[in-house]
Amino acid sequence: MCGIVGYTGARPAAALVLEGLKRLEYRGYDSAGLAVVSDGRIEVFKTAGKIAALEKELGATLPAGTTALAHTRWATHGAPNVKNAHPHTDCGGTVALVHNGIIENAGPLRAALTKRGHRFRSETDTEVLAHLIEELHAKGAPLVDAVVGALQEIEGAYGIAVLSSREPDNIVAARKGSPLLVAIGQGEHWVASDASAVLAHTRSVVYLDDGEIAVIRPNDYRILDLTAVEKEKTVTHVDWDLGTIERGGFAHFMLKEIMEQPESLRNTLRGRLLEEEGTVRLGGLNITDEDLLKIQRIVITACGTSWHSGLIGEYMMEELARVPTEVEYASEFRYRNPIVDDRTLVIGISQSGETADTLAALREAKRRGARTLGLVNVVGSTIAREVDGGIYLHAGPEIGVASTKGFTSQIAALALLTLKMGRLRALSILQGREVVRALAKLPELVGRVLQTAPQVEQIAERLVRAQNVLYLGRGYNFPVALEGALKLKEISYIHAEGYPAAEMKHGPIALIDDLMPVVFIAPQDAVYQKVVSNVEEVKARGGRVIAILTEGDTGVARLADHKIEIPTTLDLLTPVLSVLPLQLRRVRVVLQRVSRAAVRVDGNVTGQIDVGFVILAGFAPGDTEETLTWMAEKILSLRLFRDAEDKMNRSLDEAHGAVLVVSQFTLYGDARKGRRPSFIDAAPSEVAKPLYERFVGLLKERGAGSGTRVETGEFAAMMEVELVNDGPVTLLLER
């Protein structure tokens, strides 16, 4: 989750690395820091919270210097605070280091270094590396040799970048298990954990492999192995442009990427469909048809959303290609004793191409003699470089942490591979042509489903009071149920589970009542009639059914409380359509955890809090007293992950916290100028204002009883909202 950006060249470095770091914010982090070599010494600036807080600390004048490192940290060792933020330095401030990964033997190394007189300032594992480098560098070793020597002593995973005041134009970077690249400019070079950090300046990059070290200077770079032997590396051209990694007018990256899916699917399929032959062209497999025919078993390994797409691939392979197929969690596959041999094809699926567990699983499979393929989106990624062959998704960069277009492109790529395997075996040319035509039509059908977004948003309201949601599907749509549940958990922080619909009666049925929504993925496929029976079981227990159906359905439709229709396609491709409504979500109240926040109007503070929550409250014309009361009670019952004394799971009153309420118009539009908030049925200002005032009143009434202070901003004014040390966003769906 952490981000690394480093620069050395002729330009002022601080602004450049901060700009690159902002392009990595989507990864999630809890602190940020900067180190600049200036006038022969290293200046370090760190803060808990967001990059904006770091910029505020830096002030209007950034530190001078043409070599710098910047980092965003997601806490693993030590609390998210200033002392644990990166960069970390040695005892004398000669060396500064940023690190992604975990050093597994940090404990004994810290103890040994402490005995040798080193002073530790943080609780992190990373600081150990700074002191190990210091010991060698202080004895006269060049920085690169000191880094090589230090790395010999550690166990674990790392992507690091290191500065030294003694070598002010140099950055030394190293990788083992955590992505890192060198970006090549004119008279300047970069190191970064992701290409998106440098695309504004160059598209020429060199991806480091595990066990490699880079030494970059303004005018050249070298790649070495861990014995300091120089290596030749291929320069990769990144095809993405800057526009593809920006929001382009959408409220957030996830929504942008959902709406991009017609085009991302076209890109995945482009040039690969051969309708006349009823097959596909896959130039990157690097496996002959004869060798594919020798494959007796397929193992698909992946994590998270990619594992769900792998399940769909399993169904495809066994039905169309008639090849026994298993799907394994990569994190489990790598640590057990799997049975694979040279007649096994192991397929690793990873959007980024850098998923550590999936990469390790593929390496284990290769070690045992299996053929390996990768389905990845990022060209030049580690998995793409290490497998025998594969299929690039060409879906474009996926910035949102919750995968959307990556998932649908993975399904399409698995269908391509299935068609290739099937046509080599038992699948007829007529069947092949049918699949090719259905694939070609898929982007258009996806566009049609996305046009139903307003309807989906209205139905999403039904989930808001639920503490639990059940997603059910059968056949190809059981993995879609799993994916839908995962998306609800990731995005809405509501507990959800996905089940095969027939398994509902073996336990989950006991939980169903009128407060527990049940989402059925029920297109008219081969198991449709079975799903109808499952829906009837839920309705018999008073359950509320939200159904995703084929257009024109009359069976499940008559039983469902709410329905979303999708077009007809082949059974194996229905997941691409049925998952789309599950990706779309709507938000009425957004809360941001903060350690300090203030609202200013025309320079004057109108509301200010320390520990607590900032609430952006939106209202619709139909909101009732009951709705407002529920919203107020929900907010006041929220708990802080950690308070200022590092005590965990604290209520607002226990943490002496407060809430700061602003209206929907504050951030989304000025009501006086006729602009409207972004959600579809937002109330106009004359309706929203009394609802806002009543909502604030309810918060204050109930907050007074629990000792929670409530502050407000001025309704409908354009405000500057300042957030300091803000934590993870919590989203509550509207009631």
Q: Which residues are catalytic?
A: 664-666
CB contact at 8 A, 713 and 599? yes
Helix axes 304-316, 405-424, angle to 10 degrees: 30
Q: What 3-state class would DSSP assign to 286?
A: coil
- Alpha helix positions (H), 295-451: 304-316, 330-333, 356-367, 382-386, 405-424, 429-450
Q: In what order do the strands lie in the sheet with 604-609?
A: 604-609, 596-601, 720-724
Helix axes 51-58, 13-22, angle to 10 degrees: 160
Q: How far apart are CA 438 and CA 441, in angstroms?
A: 5
Q: How far apart are CA 30 and CA 11, in angstroms?
A: 28
**657 backbone dihedrals φ, ψ, rounded to 5°:** -90, 175
Closest by CA to 373, choosing from 306, 325, 301, is 301
Which residues does 586 contact at the CB level (< 8 Å), separation at least 6? Answer: 457, 460, 461, 679, 680, 733, 734
Identity of the amino acid at 701: E
Identity of the amino acid at 348: G
The counts of H helices and E strands in the chain are 22, 37
CB contact at 8 A, 498 and 585? no
Identity of the amino acid at 734: E
Please count the other Cβ atoms lying within 10 Å of the Cβ belonging to residue 461: 16
Rg (CA), the chain: 27
The end-to-end CA distance of the chain, in Å, is: 32
Q: What 3-state class would DSSP assign to 352?
A: coil
CB contact at 8 A, 730 and 591? yes
Q: Would the CA dihedral through 129, 132, 136, 137 be positive or negative?
A: positive
Which residues does 41 contact at the CB level (< 8 Å), separation at least 6? Answer: 93, 165
The torsion region of residue 724 among left (phi > 0), alpha (psi -120 to 50) and beta comes to beta
Residue 498 β-bridge partners = 471
Q: How far apart are CA 213 and CA 151, in angstroms?
A: 10
The rounded Cα 10 to chain-centroid distance in angstroms is: 34
**483 backbone dihedrals φ, ψ, rounded to 5°:** -65, -40
One-letter-per-residue 3-state SS of 223-253: EEECCCCEECCCCEECCCCHHHHCCCCCCCH
Q: How far apart are CA 43 and CA 60, in angstroms?
A: 16
Q: How far apart are CA 356 and CA 334, in angstroms?
A: 10
User: Which two structure tokens, joined as six digits, stand for 6?
Assistant: 């480093």
Q: What angle do CA 626, 632, 637 make, to 5 degrees?
A: 125
The torsion region of residue 259 among left (phi > 0), alpha (psi -120 to 50) and beta comes to alpha
Closest by CA to 402, choosing from 530, 253, 551, 515, is 253
Closest by CA to 484, choosing from 534, 537, 548, 439, is 548
Beta strands in 491-588 (DSSP E): 495-500, 517-522, 544-550, 562-566
The rounded Cα 356 to chain-centroid distance in angstroms is: 14
